[in-house]
Structure 1
Amino acid sequence: MDKATASPLPALFVSHGSPMLALEPGTTGPFLQRLGRGIDRRFGRPRAIVAVSPHTAARAPVVLGSAIHHAVHDFGGFPEALYRLQYSPPGAPELAQRVRGLLAGGGIESTASEDAGLDHGIWSVLRFAWPEADIPVLPIALAPGQPPAAQWALGAALAPLLHEGVLVLGSGSVTHNLGLIFGAAQPAADAAEITESRAFREWVAGRVAAGDRDALLDYRARAPHAALMHPSDEHWLPFYIAAGAGGLDAPGLPGAPDMPDMPGVSGVRLHDAITYGCLGMDAYAFGDAAAALGEALAGVA
């Protein structure tokens, strides 16, 4: 699985929003369909996907090397049709060993598990992008107690996989405050975006375009309305894993002297969308291949 390829893949961060994405795709479902087709056409079908979602979590990274996976319906109170949906791709037990070796090489401790199953943050996305469920998937449990810099370092350790035909996918939400959705007056799915959400999403887009790693890592202090858009970090942390894998960088990272100095590489926002007026559905690509993917998607129907 560690054979190098001529054209590296980008690393991806996608927003999965509500579990209802699977039944009510809005503009994000069609985007994810184009994303899968665009990657296949531009880079070739990925050999495997390493996926991280906030809905599979542990105190430290856990590599789930089952031989086969299934859709886990890790939610309640939704329509029965949602629980009937399935997604059962092969797992990647051999890749699990490679991933653990890369993490160890980056000074990151991990454990292995043969547990099977993909949480909805993973399967709801992949079901649109690669509905055939024929690409092996290797989930890594997110460690939500670890700060953005640690997530970035984990992504950086996985960067060699992009040159081996393995896609690194972080699934979360660019904004995520369910209290704004399930309050006394629940907004409609197509409600106009609130000012605070737009300000946060555009700040992220600007910092990504500038390759400003320092600001992104310090988002709690620097991003507008950070606490409102993310009362807790878990749905935002997969962004840093994708950015780290893709090499988005800027000189001078306070507090993490052991992180490698990499040349500046700007990420690309591939999808700009909102649902319920405050739940951002943006998607980003990172790495040398990010711009090429953006160009490829422009030509994919």
Structure 2
Amino acid sequence: MNNRKKQRNRRIILIITVAIIVFSSISLIFSRTQWGIERMISDSIAVVEYYVIKKPIEFVSNLFNEYNELKDVYNENKILRAKLAAYASVEVNTDVLSNEIEDLKKITKLDHLPTEYNVKTATVIARDAGSWTNEITIDLGSMAGVSKDMVVVASKGMVGKVTSVTEVSATVQLLTTEKPISDLPVQIINGDQNIYGLLKRYDVESKCYEVTLLSNIDKLEDNAKVITSGLGGDQKAPKGIYIGTFEGLDSSRDGTTKTLKVKPAEDFSDLSYVSVVFRGNVDE
């Protein structure tokens, strides 16, 4: 009786043990399978989240960062260009001012005028491209004592004569004009000899004045100076104002007329300041 009871108890214990082992194994297998599925699902979700959400956001964010960096570089370059332009402008203005100062120094130290003359310095305020070689406008007029036919000089010599005047400005006909209003009486200093002539025109090709001689001469000294003669009345230029130097001598076919080529003393390409010549004292 007792043996049967013991055997039955052993069977029950064995069944319970086997049941526990089987249940544990099934639970373990199921748990591992579930964990693998969850991991697979989790990994899939992570991949989708990265490529669908995070990656585009990161790409757009990088684009904005690059745009902002490029914008900063552009603004910095813009500022640098502005500074360089300002520096270049200041440098150019400095050069212009330096040139103007040099021109003013030259025009205030005229050494080619006779001592009995005085001058007033004027600024060239207009010079049209269409009449570049013909005339200029200066900022001195009748209120400054300027009148028609007054001679105008630059730092090296005569450049023209006043042809019209307003209260605050005057028009000056240049010696290089294509159509001079009148001939200019001149004097050529040929050593101890004085020769007279008329400045007729300016020759564009040779870049020289053409002077018709009023007296016969066979030879002139090299670089003989040409000045105004002062002949011809008040409407002509006063005597002794420097015009240029002898460059060459041409004769007409019949030999009756000789034309003198005179190289201008002044450079007409850049006239910023000039002086109006007055006889006697001038009230500044």
TM-score range, shorter chain: under 0.3
What's the TM-score once normalised by structure 2's chain length? 0.24
What is the TM-score of this pair, normalised by structure 1? 0.23
* Higher alpha-carbon Rg: 2
Higher strand fraction (1 or 2): 2
- Higher RCO (CA < 8 A, seq sep 6+): 1
